[in-house]
Structure 1
Amino acid sequence: MARSLDGLFLAPVADQAPGQVGTRTRFAYHERNGEIWADYAGGDVVRGRLVGTREGDRLDFRYVQLGRDGTTSSGHCVSTVVELPDGRVRLEETWEWESRDGAGTSVVEQVAGTAAD
């Protein structure tokens, strides 16, 4: 199993569609006893939260977010935790909106620094 996500900051490696998570979004992860949660913000996202579980290198969580346009959205994501050769963490994600149409894949990687604006 890859190392704990607790205290790590992650960011997408590419932008998604407008109004969604993008390269300016920062996730602050926490993990304890198989539970994971994170706060996120930046870019088109004013505030977001995710909560779920971890079994081995698999994360399964729900997310909810407030966009800069005032809309709220929610969805489901399953991620695989990968440790990169340089020791950083990558999450390879498959997600789908539950509050609207849409689904896709994304990649977030560990970054230095702090939470988003």
Structure 2
Amino acid sequence: MTQLNLDGRRFAMVSSTASRVDPDSPTRFLYQEADGVIWGSYDGDTVAHGRFVGTRRHDEIELSYVHVTKDGGSPVAGRSTSRIEPLPDGRFRLVEEFQFDGDDTPQVSVCEELPA
């Protein structure tokens, strides 16, 4: 696997079982990483502003997240575990299994790293 460090890498959601992904305005994520600690922000599609924090061990990420939606609803929170997969061109794909707090239905999303 290409040297694994997510610091400064940007990703865009390409699919999700929780909702339709708007291809013209997908949710975009900015990852920061130091010493195995992961944090960052996200917005786009239905999300006005979101934050996440967690850890990375090898090619697995565990996060907690919270965001507010563009429709002004209550904050949405949850937890996720992502598997980092290398793409042939050196970018990364994140395959995430997540659950919203208060909902026992597991969901899956896929994000791909945006070109530099």
- Fold conserved between structures, TM > 0.5: yes
Runs of 4+ in structure 1 over 2 Å off = 99-103
After superposition, give the CA deviation of every residue in 1:30-62 in whole Å (9 maximum; x if it has no partner). Answer: 000010011001111000001000011110010
Among candidates 84, 89, 109, match of residue 87 of structure 2: 84
Alpha-carbon distance, 1:64 to partner: 0.2
- Distance apart, 1:25 and its partner CA: 1.1
What are the residue-to-residue correspondences of 1:92-111 with 2, within 5 Å? 92-100=95-103, 102-111=105-114
Establish whether residue 26 from structure 1 lines up as the match of residue 44 from structure 2: no
Q: How does 1:1-117 map to 2 (within 5 A)?
A: 3-14=4-15, 16-17=18-19, 23=23, 24-71=26-73, 72-100=75-103, 102-112=105-115
Query: For residues 19 and 104 of structure 2, what CA distance do their matches in structure 1 show?
Result: 13
Q: Is the 8 A contact 2:38 2:54 kept in 1?
A: yes
TM-score, normalised with respect to structure 1: 0.85
| In 1: Cα distance, 2:106 partner to 2:33 partner | 25
Aligned length: 111
Identity fraction in percent = 39
Helix, strand or coil for the counterpart of 1:17? Answer: coil
Give unpaired runs (5+ residues) of structure 1. Answer: none
Question: Which runs of no fewer than 5 residues in structure 2 stay unpaired?
Answer: none
Alpha-carbon distance between aligned partners in 2 of 1:84 and 1:103, rounded to the nearest angstrom: 25
**In 2, distance between residues paired with 1:37 and 1:99?**
23
